[in-house]
Amino acid sequence: MKPTIYDVAKGAGVSIATVSKVINNLHVGKKSKEKVLKVMKELNYKPSVLASALAGKPTSTIGFLLPDLANPFVAEMARRVEDRAHERGFNLVICSTDFDSEKEALYVSLLRQKSVDGFILAGSFKNVEVIKELLEEHVPVVLLTESYPSLSVSSVKVDDFIGGYEVASHLISLGHEKIAVIAEDANSSQERIRGYKQALQDKGLAIYEDMIVTSDSSSEDAERVAGELLDASDPPTAIFAANDKLAICVLHAARERKLSIPDDLSVVGFDNSVLSKSTDPSLTTVGQPIQDMCSQVVDFLIEEIEGKSTTKQRLVMLPQLIIRKSTGVCRLKNKI
């Protein structure tokens, strides 16, 4: 059997209380301490987190809910969160929710039964009721990549509005006037679209609502929707995809139609995920400071867990337009 605190106590000739104290770095006589430490090493003793947690200590594990781990951008965030969490002595239980309200509720409930110390909710978390409940019951929660204006919850995200604004401005500066948008049904996407519209408006361009379409998170659907956009009688000269994954679907749809990029069509993505670097032409996209954002969410959450800070904070970081090869001068302007 694995050694317990009793084995150590017996081996060191002290009480379990003393052993507990050296485990938790409380004041213990030097001699006892050394003896205990020695025995712990000999027995290769490791305290049970289960037991200490049951007795009131934290479990040092964080529940991390995200839309889909298979999405490379999400996976990269997960890795950054994981790294920072480990640095701070925490482990991550990861659950993919697929933007499904019920899964969200289920996983939160499950993880609470397992006594995680807190939650990081990433992506567009649908189930606001669940967030409210967590807040009411004082379970530490932090949102990543989104924020709820009406909820008093800490969050870290990029300024999606500006991101969308810059994308549209870039495209407009290249002479594009008919710029379509393809997005998923996420809050962040809506913000990006708002930014895009603002830029159009600022430049005195018309906004075509029918060129702003939504796709679910499957690649098939995205390609279909992109195709419809391209097959229109008066197709757009540029498409702004609300994330890189969608942008690649647009690329595929364009390729199928023998459209050359960026000559026939400019495409912009969002996220600057690994995907955007490997496509050809490489994708113009909007970079998010993933590392910093993830580091910050973890720190915010841990602050709450440790009760060091009770003030909620919303951190908004600035995105950066990364111009690569998928955008170019509008072909119409070009011909004139």
Partner DNA sequence: GTGAAAGCGCTAACAG
Partner DNA sequence: CTGTTAGCGCTTTCAC
- Picked from its own copies, DNA, none, the partner binding residue 201 (CB below 5 to 8 A depending on kind) is none
Chain contacts with its own copies (rule: CB under 8 A) = 46-51, 53-54, 59, 61, 68-72, 74-76, 78-79, 82-83, 86, 91-96, 109-115, 248, 251, 255, 274-275, 278-281
Q: For 114-140, give the DSSP string.
A: TT-SEEEEES----HHHHHHHHHTT--
How far apart CA 29 and CA 22 sit, in angstroms, is 10
In the bound complex, what is the minimum distance in angstroms from residue 161's beta carbon to DNA?
45
Q: Select 38 or 86, whichever has its Cβ closest to its own copies.
A: 86
Q: Select 23 or 213, whichever has its Cβ closest to DNA.
A: 23
Chain contacts with DNA (rule: CB under 7 A) = 1-2, 4-6, 13-18, 20-21, 23-24, 27-29, 31-33, 47-48, 50-52, 54-57
Cα–Cα distances (Å) from 294 to 178, 187, 236, in that order, read 35, 19, 36
Residue 163 and residue 286 in contact, taking contact as beta carbons nearer than 8 Å: yes
Q: Select 68 or 159, whichever has its Cβ closest to its own copies.
A: 68
How far apart CA 43 and CA 4 sit, in angstroms, is 9
- Is the bond leading into 262 cis (omega within 30 degrees of zero)? yes
Q: Give 141's contacts (C-beta < 8 A, 6+ positions apart).
A: 118, 119, 120, 121, 131, 134, 135, 153, 154, 301, 304
Provide φ and ψ at 184, rounded to 5°.
-95, 170
In the bound complex, what is the minimum distance in angstroms from residue 59's beta carbon to its own copies?
7
- Picked from DNA, its own copies, none, the partner binding residue 29 (CB below 5 to 8 A depending on kind) is DNA
- Picked from its own copies, DNA, none, the partner binding residue 5 (CB below 5 to 8 A depending on kind) is DNA
- Picked from its own copies, DNA, none, the partner binding residue 57 (CB below 5 to 8 A depending on kind) is DNA
Q: Select 39 or 81, whichever has its Cβ closest to its own copies.
A: 81
Q: Select 1 or 336, whichever has its Cβ closest to DNA.
A: 1
- Picked from DNA, its own copies, none, the partner binding residue 117 (CB below 5 to 8 A depending on kind) is none
Provide φ and ψ at 25, rounded to 5°.
60, 40
Query: How are beta strands 285-287 and 320-322 bridged, if at all?
Result: antiparallel
- Picked from DNA, its own copies, none, the partner binding residue 37 (CB below 5 to 8 A depending on kind) is none
Residue 302 and residue 88 in contact, taking contact as beta carbons nearer than 8 Å: yes
Q: Select 52 or 320, whichever has its Cβ closest to DNA.
A: 52
